[in-house]
Chain A
Amino acid sequence: GENVEQHPSTLSVQEGDSAVIKCTYSDSASNYFPWYKQELGKRPQLIIDIRSNVGEKKDQRIAVTLNKTAKHFSLHITETQPEDSAVYFCAAVNPSNTGFQKLVFGTGTRLLVSP
């Protein structure tokens, strides 16, 4: 089955710096890669996603890149703000023959943005 590795496990940056979180996946059939932000005690919330037919996607300060050949994808946050502090999870989806999304998550990156 699919296996997703994520690093770093913790990341501390100063406000205004950029942050990069990297993930690798094992199953070349995976075709959908969402990123979730989870604040302490709260639900995971989708912040950006990318499908395998696209190499890069950007939404304001957040961008995701995908390298299908190398089977890795990355989250880039620019101009970080203290409210970006949270745990970020990457995930990969290998759709089953029923078409449903079985999300396989990475182990998470705790991002701390210091003022």
Chain B
Amino acid sequence: GAGVSQSPRYKVAKRGQDVALRCDPISGHVSLFWYQQALGQGPEFLTYFQNEAQLDKSGLPSDRFFAERPEGSVSTLKIQRTQQEDSAVYLCASTLDRNTEAFFGQGTRLTVV
């Protein structure tokens, strides 16, 4: 596609509900990143994939967060038993290769009520 696509754009979840956020990276991009952006803050790293391999998940805040990229293209970030503190914009970014520009999606705004 023309850019990184994320869905849904907005998600309202009741506390305790599970959610799944989708990222379609730019076709052919090897690397895929997930970031969490709280209101008024900069994006914070969650996890990174190179193709289908999850090479770094050090930023995931708890074991309620899980990410996958089974075929090395589309990725899903799943949050189980959502809490209010999970409310944020979740950004996905992809890069063609190492040390190249990161292109961001428009993000999914998650609101937990």
Give A contacts to B, CB under 8 Å: 4, 6, 32, 34, 36, 41-46, 49, 89, 91, 95-96, 98-108
A106 to B74, CA, bound (A): 28
- Tell me which of B60-68, B80-88, B95-103 binds A: B95-103
Question: Are B106 and A42 in touch, CB under 8 angstroms?
Answer: yes
| B105 contacts partner chain A, Cβ-Cβ < 8 Å | yes
Contacts of B44 in A (CB 8 A): 105
Binary flags per residue of B38-58, CB closer than 8 Å to A gives 1, else 0: 001111110010100001100
Question: Are A43 and B41 in touch, CB under 8 angstroms?
Answer: no
Query: B55's closest neighbor in chain A, by CB?
Result: A98
Closest approach, in angstroms, between the C-beta of B1 and any C-beta of chain A? 14
Question: Are A45 and B104 in touch, CB under 8 angstroms?
Answer: yes
Closest approach, in angstroms, between the C-beta of B46 and any C-beta of chain A? 11
Question: Are A103 and B102 in touch, CB under 8 angstroms?
Answer: yes
Closest approach, in angstroms, between the C-beta of A24 and any C-beta of chain B? 14
Question: Are B42 and A46 in touch, CB under 8 angstroms?
Answer: no
Task: Choose among A32, A89, A100 the residue that contacts B43 (Cβ–Cβ < 8 A).
Answer: A89
Q: A98-B55, A100-B55 are in contact. Are A44 and B104 (CB under 8 A)?
A: yes
Q: A44-B91, A44-B104, A45-B104 are in contact. Are A98 and B42 (CB under 8 A)?
A: no
Question: Are A103 and B43 in touch, CB under 8 angstroms?
Answer: yes
Closest approach, in angstroms, between the C-beta of B102 and any C-beta of chain A? 6
Query: B95's closest neighbor in chain A, by CB?
Result: A101
Query: A105's closest neighbor in chain B, by CB?
Result: B42
Contacts of B93 in A (CB 8 A): 103
Closest approach, in angstroms, between the C-beta of A107 and any C-beta of chain B? 5
Question: Are B56 and A96 in touch, CB under 8 angstroms?
Answer: yes
A41 to B39, CA, bound (A): 11
Contacts of A91 in B (CB 8 A): 42
| B31 contacts partner chain A, Cβ-Cβ < 8 Å | yes
Query: A31's closest neighbor in chain B, by CB?
Result: B99
| B107 contacts partner chain A, Cβ-Cβ < 8 Å | yes
